[in-house]
Structure 1
Amino acid sequence: MGQVIRPYQAGDEQGIWQLNTEVLGYAFPYEDTVTKLATLAQDPQHRILVAEVHQQVVGYIHGTQYDVLYAPSYKDIMGLAVAEAYQHRGLGRALLAGIEAWGKETGAAGVRLVSGAERLAAHAFYEGCGYQRKKGQVNFRKTW
């Protein structure tokens, strides 16, 4: 298939923005996505990997350091998306494996993630990759 999992690089912004919009359903402006990627890519607490097929970005994962006062350090998956036409080909598993490897390299106790209650197919995917449900949560937000 000619697939490659690699670190994010300049030029991947359009593909990541499209995945956020079309796969994850987030209407976040392209210009803001570009700015965020430029900032987070320079931060060693973040890791952004892309899945590329024939020089086209068809998936990505964003992991970050997760530290709290009541648990060991983990890596936290902030976003994972694979274009619908490329799902069920191992790209999502390969992207997860990239963040898992980073976690092992840096001494993290594991990888955690939060997935929307309505994303039942994603839940089945994560469970198939060895992730276990830990608890239900309610997400609160205050914006200004």
Structure 2
Amino acid sequence: MTEIRPVRAADAPRLTGLLAQLGYPGEPGAVAGRLLAVLSSATQQVLIATPAGDSRIDGYVGVERRPPGLEQDERVEITGLVVDSAARRSGVGRALVRAAEQWAVQQGLHTIVVRSNVVRPESHSFYEGIGYRRKSTSHTYRKKV
């Protein structure tokens, strides 16, 4: 059985490995630093999935409360969802998203947004299969200044 719990600082090394599986390699120290920033944030949460009685991490979901803007109401955004390759298609992702949805409701919010890279069609099918609907297709641009 999978248990979902809030992330702890001690989870950073195992999260580093999960991030690498999706092409987000990072030095353990850098991941630990970003995790500490998330842990100190009042608007963010990371929830992890672990097998009952095991220290292994099968996946995580990051969520963030986003403020209203001129174009959108306040909402929760899933900022990351990673499931270990060995645990995919076992219900871990679904359990993590359900926990993220519960977190949103606890925040008093009832809209969740998730952005999924166009190169991950299996993710698109996953989200659509659990009730999320595609709203748009966009490109992300980045520039160092």
* Structure-1-length-normalised TM-score: 0.93
Once superposed, which parts of structure 1, at least 4 consecutive aligned residues long, lie more than 3 Å away? none
Match of 1:91 in 2: 92
* Alignment: residue pair count: 142
Does residue 134 (structure 1) correspond to residue 135 (structure 2)? The answer is yes
The whole-number CA distance in structure 1 between the counterparts of 2:42 and 2:99 is: 15
The whole-number CA distance in structure 2 between the counterparts of 1:56 and 1:27 is: 19
Does residue 56 (structure 1) correspond to residue 21 (structure 2)? The answer is no
* Structure-2-length-normalised TM-score: 0.93
Worse-superposed segment, 114-123 or 101-110: 101-110
Query: After the TM superposition, which residues 32-71 of structure 1 pair with which residues of structure 2 at under 5 Å, given as runs?
Result: 32-53=30-51, 54-67=54-67, 68-71=69-72
The whole-number CA distance in structure 2 between the counterparts of 1:105 and 1:72 is: 17
Match of 1:104 in 2: 105
Alpha-carbon RMSD: 1.1
Q: Offset of 1:95 from its aligned partner? A: 0.7
**Percent sequence identity over matched residues?**
29
Q: Structure 1: give runs of 5+ residues left out of the alignment.
A: none
The whole-number CA distance in structure 2 between the counterparts of 1:116 and 1:5 is: 25
Contact 1:72 1:108 in 2 (8 A): no
Q: Offset of 1:8 from its aligned partner? A: 0.3
Contact 2:79 2:114 in 1 (8 A): yes
Match of 1:29 in 2: 27
